[in-house]
Structure 1
Amino acid sequence: MDVFSRYAPFIQDYIYSQGWQSLRGIQQAAGEAIFNSDDNVLLSAPTASGKTEAAFFPILTLLDEHPADSVGCLYIAPLKALINDQYGRLCELCREPHIPVTRWHGDVAQSQKRKLLRKPRGVLQITPESLESLMINKHMDIPSLFGDLRFIVIDEVHSFLRSDRGGQTFCLIQRLARVAGCRPRRIGLSATIGDPTAAGKFLSAGSGRKTLVPKVKDTHEVWRLSMEHFYKDPVQAGDNANITKTVQPMLGPKTDKAPQMADPGLAYIFEHTRGKKCLVFTNSREECEAVCQALRSYCEANHEPDRFMIHHGNLSTAFRQTAEEAMKDEDSMMTTCATATLELGIDIGRLERAFQIDAPFTVTGFLQRLGRTGRRGNPPEMWLVMREEHPESRAMLPELIPWPLIQGIAIIQLYLEDRFVEPPRTGRRPYSLLYHQTMSTLAAGGEMTPAELASKVLTLSYFHNITADDYKVLLRHLLKTDQLERTENGGLIVGLAGERVTNNFKFYAVFAENEEYSVHSGSEELGTIVKPPPVGDKIAIAGRVWVVEDVDRKHHQVYAHQVKGRVPAYFGDVPGDIHPRILERMRKVLVESQDYPYLMKNATARLRDARATAQASGMLEKPLINLGGKMWCLFPWTGTYAFLALERLLRLKCAKRLGLRGFNSVRPYFMEFSMDVGEKEFYQILAEEADKDFDPLDLVFDGEVPDFDKYDKYLPDELVQKGFATGVLDIQTMRQCVHKLVELGLHQ
């Protein structure tokens, strides 16, 4: 069909005003799918390909032709910043047809929200947490707000496919549709979908519709990639190395004007961000703070103006918005150090390049971070910088392998060779979210019988793995602990202990949070930290160092003043969910002799050294290596959750037969331990125990209650243990891994 002719006149006028000569492939495909079907639609295309317009052009056309009697389109995004970014674009698009666009999140004035409640129309933009709040606090308004809801657009849908936050989002969508009596179509947008069929199934769950995934002609993507390696001292792997590889011209000459004895990897970034607008991605907030401090100290040492900003989830809104506005400024030459908060689709203007310190955990993360650059007609450009300490002279085998370097190569190769991206995470038993949605449903709807409550909660698609018996166990426990209370009529309501949970604004979020203290300097709020140090000690936040003047533990406030210097920051643990395919490809990186065109001089030399070490040790032919005497090292080459299951199999099922002791692991790369048996007997015992039909709960230590998710502390121990054993531990993949290990080990 001629999609352009089908668009409303105001959409056609908008396209003319933008100077577009033709529709992009994703816009043509999306128009055909949305106009010609009644199905859900998953739009997957590279960053900056026009997915937002592809979805909204036909949606707004249909809403203009047949206006809804309520909010017509609900737009759900994972970040307030993404909503704010899209708000301006949608307002411009909706100005002529007078379709109102409303934002609803914590930073939006109450007057705007009241206006929508009085006259619900148009497009509503919201985060999952604000939608949760809306469902609880405005429950009686849901039918009038959404009674004629036609579309739900879920932006960056890939970010909802592997976590309870995604489960919460889809539970809320189902609950909203039931309460409002509507049946909206779901439109998912993403730049990083590896398995469209699996993602489409996840998107459609509970909607009663199938998902169309329009096929778009694969455009030839050009990337500018480089990966360099640095030891944290002046001597580098590439020094005096016999390497004929030519350095790519895009990198320019090697320079280092940073202070002597500085970190060479950060000095490299310092030089190659000068005069450019860049992003520097790190894998944790602590590292983000440390990197920003170091780069600012280089500016000071070189008598240069500060050209570095910082952006992460613990910073105050003011600090984050300052960084976002500076990045959107076309004339700005500032560089921003960031975490995943800038990984998603905020349009931050013309970025010249992104840096990634060490390997990201996922292919998805790599693609999202690469996609921050390459707008305005330029190809995406990323420089990966791997840093490590020189191994000590007495270091054992596993410490001689540069794991982040190998992981970075594996992630890139998996996408280049197989277009692999992590699929939705299924098979979990999300008891923590089950508690949350139970309390939310009761807080919103008031008294219900146990059967009525179960019919509203347990029937949500995300809980398909949870039995009615499990739910009875949960409800009995919640009654016993005053989370719930039984009325004289035999109904259930939120109990006194439950009210303390549900009445707190933090209840709206299902992702785990540390106990945070807000940090102030005078009247300025800097952000938040966890575990504040004593008065007089230093803290790091907002890329600078501060001395603590006072700690108000009752109100969770820290008061500080700025000083010079550097100090580590602490915001809480950062887990890595690394897929088994990545570890399998890492092994192949060490096995093969292939050169990779994006590796620079030091990285090429370090990879060559690592391959030689791996080959000489025999770790590629057999996964179990003797480190001397009774000390052994096991290389499983599997993902985080299968690795965790294997650890527990060894320690809880095999330990006695092996004479296992001194167990230590660096997840998910290797395990070190002492044992009394030999290599052949190890494999035999491991295979026998893995093949036994044991209860997954056997892999939980006696008395252990693995507090893994935010609301686990409110669950009965038996459900926490069951959720961990059957939903977190990947026993099936672990068994497949054991079979491979045994086959490799016994046939050498």
Structure 2
Amino acid sequence: MDVFSRYAPFIQDYIYEQGWQTLRPIQVAAAEEIFKTDHNVLLSASTAAGKTEAAFFPILTELTEHPVDSIGCLYIAPLKALINDQYRRLTDLCEDQDFPIWRWHGDVSQSQKRRMLKNPRGVLQITPESLESFMINKHMDIPRLFHGLRFIVIDELHSFLRSDRGGQTFCLIERLSKLAGIDPRRIGLSATIGNTEAASQFLGAGSSHQTVTPKVKNTRQIWRLSMEHFYKMGPQAAKNQEENNQLIGSKTDKAPELADPGIGYIFEHTRGKKCLVFTNSREECEAVCQMLREYCAYRHEPDRFLIHHGNLSPALRQTAEDAMKDEDAYMTTCATATLELGIDVGKLESAFQIDAPFTVSGFLQRMGRTGRRGNPLEMHFVMREEHPESRAMLPDLIPWPLLQGIALVQLYLEERWGEPPAPNRLPYSLLYHQTMSTLASSGEMTPAELASRVLPLTYFHNVSQADYKVLLRHLIKTNQIQQTENGGLIVGLAGERVVNNFKFYAVFQENVEYSVHAGSEELGTIVKPPPVGDKIAIAGRVWVVEDVDRKRHQVYCHEVKGRIPAYFGDVPGDIQPKILQRMRQVLNESTMYPYLMNNAQARLTQARDTCNIAGIPQQQLINLGGKMWCLLPWTGSYAFLALERLLRIKCAKRLNLRGFNSSRPYFMEFAMDASADEFFQIIREEAAKDFTPMDLVYPKEVPVFDKYDEYLPDELVRKEFAESVLDIAEMKKCVAQMCAEHEKIKN
């Protein structure tokens, strides 16, 4: 098939204008599938491989050759910034065509939205939350707006594979399709899919179309990768301090007093370049930006640092995005995951990552921000830790972020491994949400009719009718739902307070946020505002609070000099078992990985020596002295959580367990009246017993885990936690492996 000649003339013209000599392999493969079949298509290829064009060149060709009098393509993306970026790209592509590209999210003007509603054609770009709002507030318009919908493009599919947000997205796709009487094809895009077979099943769930993943040979990529380690104060791990100073940068010793050498390293290595500095939390993002700006002030250099995270105002985020796209501006932006996904931030020279992200896909996405315009991918890890105290216990002497960073890199280099979709068990929180959304959009319906709308959604295939009855009875009892005289169900008074709040559209957990204002400028949002006169950190600067309006959730402030920690809410991290197992292997092997810099090599050697003396990682139960012990299970977050509960609920009495303390998912410390042999015998016996997941939930515990758990009956919250959060199968596998290895060492 001559793909180029099959494209619409305006797309051919665009390709000529861009000066492309050939089409990328993924573009040819996608065109073959989209033009010749009716399949759903998963396009998985490396960053900057041309996936967006691969999907949209044939889709736009089809829609211009065979126009429909409704929205023809729905594009769903996880971030507004990504939608804005793709909107510009598609608008440029369709500039001379009578083919509209629409955006729909909270920052889009009402006038634009009204124009789309009046004349629905072309491509509509939307977030899952805005689509939820659409389903509730524009319910009657759905058939008119989407009756000719032929394609749904889900960008950054990997970001939807392991959360209720992904479940919500696919529930909405099924609901919209049924309401509009359509059967659109699904096109998934991602650069970081590990298991394409599992991701294909996820993409096609509930669709009548077969789902395929075209196999293409990725072009060979060159990586410039380094990983360096720094103690925040005091001597570094590398013995040759003079050589180490050269690595840090000749001017680092002139940094402010008590300067953090890891931040000094970033400061020196971003000068005269365009870079991103990734952190794992908004608090750390603010702290790092503050320190880097302090360095500028101390050196009397112009401020060259920007900041970008989800709590900043749209104006400040847009300022950072625009500056990054400016080819002549050598700025560095401190960011969280908001700049991790496929937003085009121009010709970046390198990315820095402070500590290790939680996932292989996160590492690849962040490194993938670089390497555009034909340059190599470039990522520099900066691992920072405090010097261990002299009385620190053994597990505190292990550099966990360094091991985690090495494990993420090695898993991809050795196996091309990435996180699989999360197993879908009992998503009761989302079940509540979609039940209320369906009632709010459709109005009164009988219990049977409501169940027939919600339970057949593919994401709820494990939910029984009995459980749904329990949920509905509870919602009626708590006035979330009201039963009418006719026996029908409508949203109740308590339910209206939930549904009528704009935050209802999202299924991810949110904090109560206060908008922060300095004069006429909105800076962003914070949680837990301090008293008047205290300081807050936001937008990479420090401010004094002048007034707090708790009714309107607003904070007024003015800028001052200084540095303080920021607080935006907790940051969860779910780490897969395979990552912990590879971390164990890092300690166990003698390999010195080529990307490790001086300090990192020295710190890894030090950690290996320390662990070797203690018998780690071969032994997983280590005596810390007397009756104090440390267990290193080397398993994932949720299997670790299940093992904690097995020990505390099933084994505590037999072991006389006490003083239990854990650093999830790395190690547990406790005192016990048992030997290592007795410990492994007891946990083997208890893990082998016939018990249900509910046995690992404390008698009066109601472990609220997801956003809408508070509206569920206690029995369903407990059941969801036991069967959907605790990874008991992986925990039992872990126990069996630990016991077998203990026997092997003993014999």
Q: Does TM-score exceed 0.5, indicating one fold? A: yes
Name the structure 2 match of 1:488: 485
Q: 1:318-717 counterparts in 2 under 5 A? A: 318-717=315-714
Contact 2:249 2:268 in 1 (8 A): no
The answer on 1:163 being equivalent to 2:163 is yes
Residue in structure 2 matched with residue 96 of structure 1 by the alignment: 96
Matches of 1:236 and 1:246 in 2, distance apart?
A: 10
Deviation at 1:427, TM superposition (A): 3.2
- Letter of the structure 1 residue corresponding to residue 165 of structure 2: R
Cα offset, 1:289, TM superposition:
0.6
Amino acid at match of 1:715: L
Q: CA deviation at 1:593?
A: 0.3
Contact 1:234 1:264 in 2 (8 A): no
Tell me by how many angstroms 1:702 deviates: 2.1
Give ranges in structure 2 of 5+ residues lacking alignment. none
Q: Secondary structure at the match of 1:440?
A: helix
- Write out aligned runs for 1:3-402 (5 A): 3-240=3-240, 255-402=252-399
Hey, what's the Cα distance between the residues in 2 that align with 1:256 and 1:226?
22
Q: Report if the CA contact (8 A) 2:249-2:265 is conserved.
A: no
The answer (yes or no) to whether the contact 1:234–1:261 under 8 Å persists in 2 is no
Residue-by-residue CA offset, 1:127-172 (whole Å, 9 max, x unaligned)? 1011001110000000000001000000111100000111100000
- After superposition, the C-alpha distances for 1:336-387 in whole angstroms (9 at most, x for unaligned) are 1000000000000011110000000000100000001111110110100000
Give the aligned length. 745
Q: Distance in 1 between matches of 2:219 and 2:660?
A: 49
* Pairwise CA distance, 1:256: 4.5
Distance in 2 (CA, whole Å) between partners of 1:258 and 1:381 is: 26
1:201 touches 1:211 (CA, 8 Å); kept in 2? yes
Q: Deviations over 1:246-266 (max 9, x none)?
A: 999xx9878554223200100
Equivalent residues in 2 for 1:714-725 (5 A)?
714-725=711-722
- C-alpha distance 256-12 of structure 1, shift in aligned 2 (>3 A): farther
CA distance in 2, matches of 1:696, 1:336: 45
Alignment partners' CA distance in 2, 1:712 and 1:149? 34
Structure 2 letter corresponding to 1:287: E
Q: Distance in 2 between matches of 1:132 and 1:68?
A: 24
* Distance in structure 2 (CA, Å) of the matches to 1:242 and 1:210: 61
- Displacement of 1:488 in angstroms is 1.3
- The more displaced of 124-133 and 96-105 is 96-105
SS of 2:71 mapped into structure 1: coil
Residue pair 2:46, 2:218 contacting (<8 A) in 1 also: no
TM-score by length of 2: 0.98
Letter in 2 for 1:604: Q
Q: CA deviation at 1:30?
A: 0.4
Cα contact 1:659–1:676 (8 A) shared by 2: yes
Tell me, in whole angstroms, the C-alpha distance in 1 between the residues paired with 2:604 and 2:95.
56
Residue 30 of structure 1 aligns to a residue whose secondary structure is: helix
Q: Secondary structure at the match of 1:747?
A: helix
Equivalent position SS for 2:420: coil
Tell me the distance in 2 between the aligned counterparts of 1:725 and 1:48.
41
Looking at structure 1, the residues matched to 147 and 255 of structure 2 have their Cα atoms a distance apart, in angstroms, of: 61
Q: Take 1:734 and 1:7, find their aligned partners in 2: how far apart are those partners?
A: 52
Which digits, 9 at most, give the CA deviation of each residue in 1:496-546, with x for residues without a partner? 000111111111111000111111111111111111111111111111111
CA drift at 1:242: 12
**CA–CA distance in structure 1, aligned partners of residues 138 and 573 of structure 2:** 37
Residue 315 of structure 1 aligns to a residue whose secondary structure is coil
Distance in 2 separating the partners of 1:294 and 1:623? 39
Report which stretch shifted further, 285-294 or 738-747: 738-747
CA shift, 1:111, in A, is 1.4
Change in 2 beyond 3 A, CA 1:644/1:384: same
Kindly state the Cα deviation for residue 555 of structure 1 after the two structures are TM-superposed.
1.3
In structure 1, list runs of 5 or more residues that go unmatched: none
Structure 1 residue matching 2:322: 3-state secondary structure: helix
Instruction: State how far apart, in whole Å, the 1-side matches of 2:502 and 2:252 are.
Output: 50
Q: What residue identity is the alignment partner of 1:720? A: V
Structure 1: 4+ residue segments shifted above 4 A: 245-248, 251-256
**Residues 695, 423 of structure 1: alpha-carbon distance in 2 compared, 3 angstrom cutoff:** same
1:387-425 CA-partner distances (Å, limit 9, x unpaired): 001111111110110000000000000000000000100
The amino acid across from 1:157 in the alignment is L
- Counterpart of 1:74, as a letter, is L
Deviations 1:90-144 (A, max 9, x none): 1122233311111111111111111111121111011101100111000000000
- 1:296 Cα deviation after fit: 0.6
Q: Distance in 1 between matches of 2:449 and 2:364?
A: 44
Distance 2:518 2:94 in 1: 42
Q: Distance in 1 between matches of 2:121 and 2:618?
A: 64
Once the two structures are superposed, residues 157-198 of structure 1 have per-residue CA deviations (whole angstroms, 9 ceiling, x without a partner) of 110000011110000000000000011000000010111100
- 1:134 maps to a residue whose letter is F
Distance 2:674 2:86 in 1: 62
Q: Is the 8 A contact 2:26 2:54 kept in 1?
A: yes
Once the two structures are overlaid, the 10-residue window that deviates more, 664-673 or 254-263, is 254-263
CA contact (8 A) 1:683 1:746 kept: no
Q: Distance in 2 between matches of 1:504 and 1:640?
A: 33
Q: Which amino acid aligns with 1:418?
A: E
**Per-residue deviation, residues 228-255 of structure 1 (Å, max 9, x unmatched):** 0000113000033899x9999xx98785
AA in 2 matched with 1:156: E
Question: 2:616 and 2:588 mapped to 1: Cα distance?
Answer: 10
- What is the CA–CA distance in structure 1 between the aligned matches of 2:329 and 2:39, rounded to whole Å? 44
Distance in 1, Cα, partners of 2:288 & 2:113: 40
**Which of 658-667 and 217-226 deviates more?**
217-226
SS in 2 for 1:72: strand
Conserved? CA contact 1:706–1:724, under 8 Å: yes
Q: Which amino acid aligns with 1:700?
A: V
- Distance, in Å, in 2 between the alignment partners of 1:304 and 1:254 is 13
Counterpart amino acid of residue 147 in structure 1: H
| Counterpart-to-counterpart distance in 2, 1:270 and 1:637 | 35
**Distance of 1:500 and 1:394 partners within structure 2:** 52
In 2, distance between residues paired with 1:241 and 1:96? 61
Question: What is the distance in 2 between the residues matched to 1:547 and 1:279?
Answer: 28
- State the percentage of identical aligned residues: 75
Aligned-CA RMSD value: 1.5
Alignment TM-score, normalising by the size of structure 1: 0.98
For each residue in 1:651-683, what CA deviation from the matched residue of structure 2 results, as whole angstroms up to 9, or x when unmatched?
Answer: 111101110000000000000000011110000
